[in-house]
Every structure is written in C-alpha cells, then in structure tokens.
C-alpha cells in the first residue's frame, strides 16, 4: 500500500517570535500561523479580528436588486420558493433563508432536488414542479449561477428568478432579476470565499438592515455549512464559524441537539471536528440516500421530541450510506487488485452495475487515499454511466475530463472534484484517453505536510491549549500535523471487534516516558514491538465524564530513516512496469530480482508468515535496513508480485501472506511480471 511523501515545512522562528510578541500568543501558534501564510500584519489583523463588525452585504453583486424584489414579493403576498441543494451547504442555506422569510411573514415554501431524479441545480422538471405550487418568485441558494436555459424557462412559465450562489460563473450568466454571487467576474467583492450558506446569511442581513439579530439567529447553522463545504476558514468565513461555534456551545437548536446525541458527542465541546465528522455526514447522508428534505426538516424542527425521531431517521440513512459505501469500495478494490494493469495507471477508472450514485464521490475519495492518484468511480445504469471524480493537489481532474469532452455526455466540476456521464461502450476508450492525457502532464505525488518535529514528551494538554487559539481548523487553516521521528514501539494492540484500529504505545530512544496513540482503520499494520519508526500525528481533546485528556491520532507511519525521495521514484517505476509503459535499460535492471533476491524475500516471509501483502515497504526495510539506492523498493514489489503469480505465496481475506508447501520447483522466469520485464528488453526498451 503506497503512502504519501512526508515533507517537513521550513521554520521561520524569527518571524514567529515577532508575531508571538505582537499578538501575545504562544510561540508555537505563531509558528503555525506563518506556515499557513499568515505572515503579514494585514493578514494577521484580519485573522485575529474578533469584533462583530461585518462586511456590508450590499457590497455583494446585485444585493440591492435581490432585496428589493424579495421585499416586494413579501409585501404583495406572492409565493416565494427557496430552492437549494442536497448537500450540507445546500440544506443549511435553505434552512437560513426559508426560516428568515417565514419569520418576515412571507408566503414561502422550499424545495430541494433529489440527487438521482433531478441531479444538481435547477432543471425544467424542477421548474415545472415549483410552478405547480403557485410560486411567483424562485430564490436559489447554493446553486443557480449556471442555470442559463432554466432561467429562460422560468420566465416562460411566468415566474421570476433571484440567484444566490457561490460557484464560479460560466461563459454566460442567467437572465434574471439578480445574481448574488461573490465570484462574479464583473464585480470586485471584498470577500469571495463564502459557502452558499454564507451568501444566504448575507442576504438575510441585507434584508434585515442589520447584522446583529441575523447572526445571533443563524450563525450556528451557517457554521455547519461553511465547515462542511470546505471553503477557506479565513476572513469572514472564520468569523462566521467562530460566532456559530460560540452559539452551538451556548444553546443548541432541537435538531442540532438531536444530531449530536445520535453522533455520540452530546454534552461535549462542539468544534469544527464535531461538525466535519459528527453533524455534516448525517445531513449529507439524507441527500445521498433518500431525500435531503429529511435533513432540512430536522434543522427546522422546533419540537425536541419530533427532532429526536427525525434524527433517528437521518442516522438510519447514514448507516445505510456507510453500508453502501463499504460494499462499493470493496467491489472496486477487488477489481483493482485483480487488474494491476488498471490499478497502476495514473488515473483510476472503475465502474460497477447498479452502484448507488449517492456515494460514488465518497468511494472515489477512499480509493484516492489508498492508491494516491486521481480516481473516477462510475455506476453503470445500462444506457448510461454516471460518476464522480476526486483528484490530488496539483492535478486538475476537470482539465483531464475536458481533454476527453468529445466522448463525454456531460461533465463539470473543478480541479479536485468533478462529475461526468458517458455511454458504457465508450468507457474503455475514455480510460485510455484520459490516462494518455495524464502521462503528458507533470508527475504529481501526494505529500503529507508536517508543521514541525516534536519530542513525544512534549505532547500534552498544555500543547493542545496553546494551539487552540488559532482554531477553528479546516480548509485554509489545517489542523496542525506533527512529526515524531525515531520512536521505539513498546506495544501494538488491535482495537474494535474486527481489529480494524490499532493502539500504539511508544517512547523516544533514551527516554522512559511512554506515549499512546490511536491509528484508525489500519487492520493490516505490520509493525511490532521493538520496531523503530517515524510517526505523523494530530492532536485532539477527549472529554469523558467531566474529565479532559489528550488524544493522539496517528495519521501515518514508516520505518525510521527511510528515504522518501527514493520511495517515490520506486513507486512510480513499479507503476510504469505494471501499466505496460516502456522502460529504459537502467530502469529494467533496477526492477529485476535475481534468484538470491527471491531467496532472501522467501526466507523472510517464511519466518514472518502472516505479514500483510500491502506492507511491502516494511518488508523491504527489514531486508534492507540501510537505505541503498542499488536496492530500490520496487525490486521487492516485483518479487512479491512474481511470487504471488507463481503460487509461491497466497493471501487470505485480510490480505496476509501465507506460504503453501511446494512439492515441485518453479521457473521464476514464468512469472507474468518478469515476462513483462523481458518483453521490455526484447522490444528494445531495455537496451
């Protein structure tokens, strides 16, 4: 299983010292701020601005037109429909604007799309359903900037449209009453990075003519959508989330309280992590697995008893989402393991019949984390394949799709995430063409950015308190990541009924102080007591029965002292071989193991039967503890692959290696992977 390259950021201690003194903050917090780009007085003043002064909402484009038209609709008794989206941002955006308009006495209703029936945004079918309710004015939230044809259809139906959105505009804007979108190219907005719920919040402030009451009523809801939509937590977004978190930790609306109870985090401090992993997934699950309006009704609930029932219904959807996601992930994983020529391409394209469309993006993200390359996951509906894509930083999956636009029915998105549809018979052609595009781009290998190295003895609640002042963490202000180098493992324990999680106890060489960390979802972890390792960790606060303790979360592990640059080159070379790309003579020689190398790997596996097949870096390091450029990691990968192909090793359901008894000798050169190496030579590539 590949892992990310580790990169420790450079420290600017002088600048950090100046910032710490100027703003009276802990030096470590100051250091973390410099590494996040908050390195000027202007940026820092904005970051630490905790005043309740807000950007004038009328500085957003068309805000005056939107306010005037909506107020006229309220005064004239026209029916208004707030039309949102099925994700957490869309649900919270709709909650805010619908609640505000209802409080103003408006004749207001709402509608959210159903993912599989309606897709994203407005459509003619949606417009017809809205028109049937007697609506005169449609106000979109978190969508609408691309509804060019739909805007025309709305006018034909005798209705009017106000768009509020935060997505980038296309070549043409919709022809409608107003388009309130901070990203409009023809407008210089003082802050552009609002989530959809942030734009809806600003609209309410503009209508109210005051920020104070609107923020006090809706900043908690806006904080949910802002964190969930992963917009940068800087500028006014940071202020909205900070204000919202204060509200959430003072008083919780019945729906939010019920969600927290179901998530098992009721009574604990609510922070951005609580939103990301406790609240947002449940709101999103409703839109993924059924109707997003179930989540909307929950957020709108004012009766605690009914909120509990609705939260249970949403939690059941979340469980269904988990099950469906696991099923598709395992099927996709099995396909990739059976087809290494696909698994080692620069862009993974996998499809399955009847896969649930609502979880494809999550599955793509999980596969990306496992294979460290862009992933496109599609469901085959018979006449059409529809899918979601996720990419790594530095590689635009949107541009990759755009290079194949002639064979796609539809596509859209941005650098890191996109969606598409294609005819099933063109899928193989698409896989080939999109990967040829990737081969023509500069190579991108994912990295883990480590803020700084720490001694395990320095991990404490005091350290956590010192960095708490730069929360909330999220996009644009990531949770701090620390490197613990050269620690010795004291104990490795499995956790959970299926042993999927691991508890690692370790200490720094020369110290008697042991520290414990949790490594989630790593059932195949090969490391043992006595191993010297490097760890990447983040910190958290554990509240239990009134007591607070430090939680250490292990994010990655490697044998201590390995050369990551050499690791990356080996991974890329192994991919090149398995994907069938031509190799140079030097490359082929570095990959090909001789009989002695095979014998060394075999002896190790014989002595350590049960080691995970995916732990090839660990196996390689045990065989070659001193980094040797003449013995690259890929040689061990080729050896394991050849042994598996020849039946010299097998793997069980958990991916652990077993060595069957051999009754007759085998010819190592018969392994398909070695034949592929020889084929490179014979075709002149290896000369």
List pLDDT tens digits, range 414-460. Answer: 888 989 999 999 999 999 999 999 999 998 999 999 999 999 988 88
Q: Which helix (H) or strand (E) holds 167?
A: none
**Contact 417/390 with Cβ under 8 angstroms?**
yes
The yes/no answer on whether domain 57-210 falls in CATH 3.40.50.620 is no
Q: How far is CA 176 from CA 66, 106, 150, 166, 461, in A?
A: 10, 21, 10, 16, 54
What mean pLDDT comes out for the span 155-179? Answer: 95
Query: Which residues lie below 8 Å from residue 249, measured CB to CB, with a gap of 6+?
Result: 269, 270
pLDDT at 626 over 70: no
Q: Which helix (H) or strand (E) holds 118?
A: helix 115-118
Domain 5-10+448-559 fold is OB fold (Dihydrolipoamide Acetyltransferase, E2P) (2.40.50)
**356-380: per-residue pLDDT in tens?**
999 999 999 999 999 999 999 999 9
pLDDT at 684 over 70: no
What is the per-residue pLDDT for 630?
Answer: 57
The DSSP line for 149-210 is HHHHHHHHTT-EEEEE--SPP-SS---SSEEE-TT-TT---S-----HHHHHHHHHHHHHT-
Q: How far is CA 353 from CA 118, 328, 342, 365, 425, in A?
A: 20, 10, 18, 19, 13
State the Cα–Cα distance between residues 197 and 525, nearest whole angstrom.
41
The yes/no answer on whether domain 339-445 falls in CATH 3.10.310.30 is yes
* Phi, psi dihedral angles at 532 (to 5 degrees): -100, 125
Tokens 């991919």 sit on residue: 575
Angle at CA 493, nearest 5°, toward 488 and 495? 140
What is the per-residue pLDDT for 509?
Answer: 83
Nearest to 424 by CA among 354, 367, 371, 328: 354
State the Cα–Cα distance between residues 529 and 519, nearest whole angstrom.
15
If you count DSSP H runs as helices and E runs as strands, how many of each does the chain have, helices first?
Answer: 27, 20
Query: Which residues lie below 8 Å from residue 40, measured CB to CB, with a gap of 6+?
Result: none
* Domains 57-210 and 339-445 alike in fold: no
The share of the chain scoring above pLDDT 90, in percent, equals: 76
E strand spans, 428-510 = 447-450, 452-453, 482-495, 501-508
What is the per-residue pLDDT for 468?
Answer: 85
pLDDT at 499 over 90: no
E strand spans, 520-582 = 532-544, 547-559
Q: Which helix (H) or strand (E) holds 8?
A: strand 5-8
3-state secondary structure of 381: coil
Tokens 């957020």 sit on residue: 299
**Angle of helix 27-35 versus helix 13-23 axis, rounded to 10:** 120
pLDDT at 231 over 50: yes
pLDDT at 679 over 80: no
**300-315: per-residue pLDDT in tens?**
999 999 999 999 999 9
Indicate the pLDDT class of residue 51, thresholds 50, 70 and 90: confident
- Give the other-Cβ count within 10 Å of 509's Cβ: 9
Of 299 and 410, the one with more pLDDT? 299
State the Cα–Cα distance between residues 85 and 361, nearest whole angstrom.
16
Each domain of the chain, given as residue ranges in start order, spans: 5-10+448-559, 57-210, 339-445, 564-682
The CA-based diameter of the chain, rounded to the nearest angstrom, is 90
Distance of CA 588 to the CA centre of its chain: 36
What is the per-residue pLDDT for 683?
Answer: 57
């Amino acid at each position: 299983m590949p892992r990310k390259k580790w990169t420790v950021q450079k420290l600017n201690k002088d600048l950090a010292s100046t910032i710490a003194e100027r703003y009276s903050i802990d030096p470590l917090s100051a250091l973390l701020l410099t590494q996040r780009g908050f390195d000027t007085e202007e940026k820092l003043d904005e970051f630490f601005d905790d005043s309740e002064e807000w950007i004038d909402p009328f500085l957003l484009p068309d805000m005056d037109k939107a306010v005037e038209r909506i107020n006229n609709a309220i005064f004239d008794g026209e029916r208004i429909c707030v039309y949102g989206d099925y994700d957490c941002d869309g649900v919270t955006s709709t909650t805010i604007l619908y609640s505000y308009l209802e409080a103003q006495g408006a004749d207001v209703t709402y509608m959210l799309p159903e993912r599989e029936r309606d897709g994203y945004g407005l459509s003619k079918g949606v417009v017809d359903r809205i028109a049937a309710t007697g609506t005169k004015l449609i106000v979109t939230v978190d969508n609408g900037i691309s509804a060019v044809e739909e805007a025309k259809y709305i006018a034909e139906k005798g209705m009017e449209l106000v768009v509020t959105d935060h997505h980038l505009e296309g070549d043409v804007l919709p022809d409608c009453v107003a388009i309130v979108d901070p990203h409009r190219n023809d407008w210089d907005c003082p802050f552009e990075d609002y989530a959809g719920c942030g734009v809806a919040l600003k609209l309410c402030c503009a209508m109210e003519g005051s920020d104070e009451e609107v923020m006090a009523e809706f900043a908690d809801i806006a904080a949910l959508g802002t964190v969930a939509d992963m917009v940068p937590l800087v500028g006014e977004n940071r202020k909205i989330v900070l204000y919202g978190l204060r509200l959430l930790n003072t008083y919780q609306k019945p729906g939010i309280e019920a969600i927290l109870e179901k998530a098992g985090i009721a009574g604990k401090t609510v922070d951005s992590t609580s939103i990301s992993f406790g609240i947002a997934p449940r709101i999103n699950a409703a839109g993924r697995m059924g109707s997003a309006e179930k989540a909307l009704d929950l957020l709108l609930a004012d009766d605690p008893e009914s909120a509990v029932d609705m939260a249970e219904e949403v939690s059941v959807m979340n469980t269904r989402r988990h099950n469906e996601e696991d099923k598709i992930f395992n099927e996709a994983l099995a396909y990739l393991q059976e087809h290494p020529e696909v698994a080692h391409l620069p862009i993974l394209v996998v499809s399955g019949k009847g896969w649930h469309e609502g979880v494809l993006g999550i599955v793509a993200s999980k596969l990306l984390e496992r294979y460290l390359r862009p992933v496109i996951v599609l469901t085959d509906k018979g006449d059409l394949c529809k899918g979601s894509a996720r990419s790594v930083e530095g590689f635009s999956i949107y541009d990759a799709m755009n290079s194949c636009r002639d064979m796609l029915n539809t596509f859209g998105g941005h650098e890191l995430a996109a969606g598409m549809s294609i005819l099933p018979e063109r899928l193989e052609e698409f896989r080939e063409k999109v990967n040829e595009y990737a081969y023509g781009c500069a190579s991108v290998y994912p990295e883990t950015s480590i803020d700084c190295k720490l001694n395990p003895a320095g991990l404490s609640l005091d350290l956590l308190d010192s960095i708490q002042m730069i929360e909330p963490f999220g996009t644009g202000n990531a949770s701090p990541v620390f490197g613990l180098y050269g620690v010795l493992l004291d104990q490795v324990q499995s956790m959970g009924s299926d042993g999927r999680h691991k508890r690692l106890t370790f200490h720094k060489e020369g110290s008697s102080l042991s520290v414990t960390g949790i490594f989630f979802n790593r059932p195949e972890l090969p490391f043992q007591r006595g191993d010297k390792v490097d760890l990447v960790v983040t910190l958290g606060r554990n509240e239990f029965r009134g007591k607070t303790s430090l939680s250490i979360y292990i994010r990655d592990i490697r044998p201590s002292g390995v050369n990551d640059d050499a690791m990356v080159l080996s991974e890329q070379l192994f991919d090149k071989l398995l994907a069938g790309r031509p190799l140079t003579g030097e490359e082929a020689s570095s990959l090909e193991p001789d009989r002695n190398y095979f014998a060394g790997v075999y002896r190790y596996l014989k002595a350590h039967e049960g080691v995970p097949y995916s732990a090839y870096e660990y196996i390689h390091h045990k065989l070659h503890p001193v980094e040797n450029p003449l013995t690259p990691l890929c040689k061990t990968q080729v050896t394991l692959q050849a042994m598996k192909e020849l039946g010299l090793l097998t793997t069980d359901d958990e991916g652990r290696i077993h060595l069957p008894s051999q009754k007759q000798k085998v010819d190592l050169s018969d392994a398909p992977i070695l034949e592929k190496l020889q084929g490179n030579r014979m075709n002149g590539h290896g000369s």
